Amino acid sequence: MKKKYFGTDGIRATVGQAPMTAEWLLSLGRAIGTVIQEQAKPILIGMDTRESSVALGDAFAAGLAAQGHHVIIAGVLPTPAVAFLCKQKEFSLGAVISASHNPYQDNGIKFFCSDGFKLSDDAEQAIETRLDQIASIALAAKPGKIDYDNSLIQVYAEHCQTFFAPQALAGLNLVLDCAHGATYQLAPTLFIDLGATVHSLHITPDGRNINAASGATDLRALQQAVKEKEAHLGIAFDGDGDRVMMVDGDGVVVDGDELLWILAAHQLTEHKTLAGVVGTVMSNLGLVEALAAQKIPFYRANVGDRYVLEALKERNWFLGGESSGHLLHLHYGTTGDGLVSALLILQAMVKAKKPLSELKKGMRKYPQVMINVRYAGKKPDLNLEAIKNAVAEVEQQLAGQGRVLLRASGTEPLVRVMVEGKDKAETKAHAESLAFNIQKILEG
């Protein structure tokens, strides 16, 4: 059954518009409160730095408490910290008030079970069914309580510190871009404690500047700072900390595909074997070729770290990720984790005694251009004959030396137009032409 509210990564919308209102979050809390029968364990709520997060989080907590649950609001927490704490501290449920990489006008909520993994489709469907019945559901005879605990972030910080001995990163000069988001305090402190010299960007959230010209979705400031500070590398997180992107010492972007390759190559060097790697339909052909050269199987999942995770579980593999910087290493966590992924990359650098620019050389990245085409109204049908003809024309011009992918975003009203090919200028021209034609078709 098609879900009404849940998308590929929880629920997300513009604040003040249905369903992202305090009133609706109250009902959502009540609905989930009736789905979760076990009330012996508390429910954890973390959030990012958006101006709307506190009010929405409080409303959601009130709905849970109305159904008899004990809720702990932990304040600003990266998304992977909530997943980690659910498993570590045995919360019955974890919720994150965040719209991840979206601008501040949007917000959302995503959930983790007590094992640290995201909710199943069946669980999301059960919640939506209960939402439709909420008017007829009675409140608990005895309301639950709401507590606030800002110390839980330290438990996650201590987990991150276990990746290195104290001062193990002494001599490393790096730049961090925290996107004015959930890692703005944690990340600089962590890397300083590990001995690195840290230059921090975008660590003064005001509720509205989250992800604005910063972080994993806009690396220009990081590139410039790496050059100015003569840093060894730069690390960028998105607003809720589940993505990471990097910049090498020359100021060149190292994206999620290249980071995934570095992790795979390091695993192969250290352990001589790697069962396979999961990417997505957006993963670069260069990653596929580099893995194939090492006889490492590769599988393309749909876009979204939940689909990468599903594919990993089905194959009993542990390493996967997305070009956007969602990286999953199931030996170390249950969801995309920007901080942990950055630490694993640094481990590979330290072990190999090579800079980031050297480690990525094992993968030759194909030029890949993606253009977002915004649409109004309902999600468009990408199987329209006119759209298929426009794609076929570009594919014919690529002549087997690249590929085209159209994908409707699961979180924003965008059609993502991606073209990949061997020549950068030609690839860019093909992408721009196709995006222009798609825009005309969508506008009617």
Among 102, 120, 151, the domain boundary falls at 151
Which listed residue (27, 52, 100, 323) is catalytic? 100
**Of 228, 253, 278, which residue constitutes the final position of a domain?**
253
Residues 6+ apart with CB under 8 A from 380: 408, 415, 442
Strand ranges of the sheet holding 173-177, from the earlier edge strand across to the other edge = 197-201, 173-177, 233-237, 244-248, 253-254
Work out the widest C-alpha separation in the chain, in whole angstroms. 68
| Whether 53 contacts 120, CB under 8 Å | no
Q: How far apart are CA 260 and CA 124, in angstroms?
A: 30
Q: Is residue 1 part of a domain?
A: no
Which CATH number goes with the domain that contains 20? 3.40.120.10
What is the sign, positive or negative, of the torsion defined by CA atoms of 49, 4, 391, 298? positive
Q: How many CB atoms lie within 10 A of CB 342?
A: 28
Do 304 and 372 have their domain in common? Answer: no
Whether residue 230 lies inside any domain: the answer is yes
Query: What pLDDT shows up at residue 70?
Result: 97
Q: Is residue 5 part of a domain?
A: no
Q: Number of structural domains, the chain?
A: 4
- Grouping H, G, I as helix, E, B as strand and the rest as coil, residue 389 is helix
pLDDT of 377 reads 87
352 and 421 together in one domain: no
Specify if 158 maps to a domain.
no
> Domain range for residue 272?
255-362
Our measurement of the distance from residue 413's CA atom to the centroid of its chain's CA atoms, rounded to an integer in Å, reads: 18
For residue 136, which amino acid is it? S
What is the reported pLDDT for 402?
A: 87
The CA distance from 39 to 200, in Å, is: 41
Is 372 in the same domain as 354? no
Q: Is residue 427 part of a domain?
A: yes
Distances (CA, A) of 442 to 138, 257, 308, 404: 46, 30, 30, 18
| Residue 291 falls inside a structural domain | yes
Nearest to 144 by CA among 73, 198, 65: 65
| Residues with pLDDT less than 50, the chain | none
Question: In this structure, are 134 and 173 located in the same domain?
Answer: no
- Both tokens of 290, joined, read 């580099």
Quick one: 181 and 196 in the same domain? yes
Question: Cβ distance 247 to 253 under 8 Å?
Answer: yes
Looking at residue 116, what DSSP letter applies? S
Residue 308 structure tokens? 């990468």
Residue whose tokens read 């690390």? 235
pLDDT of amino acid 302: 92
CB-count burial class (<10 Å; 0-12, 13-18, 19+) for 433 = middle
User: 74 and 183 share a domain?
Assistant: no
Does residue 232 contact residue 247 with C-beta atoms inside 8 Å? no
Let me know whether 280 and 356 are in one domain. Answer: yes
Q: Do 147 and 115 share a structural domain?
A: yes
The answer to whether residues 144 and 82 belong to one domain is yes
Contact in structure between 27 and 57 (CB atoms under 8 Å) = no
Domain-located, residue 2: no
Residue 411: its pLDDT value, please?
73
Residue 53 is a catalytic residue: no
204 and 332 inside one domain: no
Judge if 28 and 95 occupy the same domain. yes
Task: Assess whether 302 and 409 both reside in one domain.
Answer: no
**Domain annotation covers residue 289:** yes
On the question of a cis peptide bond just before residue 355, with omega within 30 degrees of 0, the verdict is no
Domain end call among 362, 388, 418 = 362
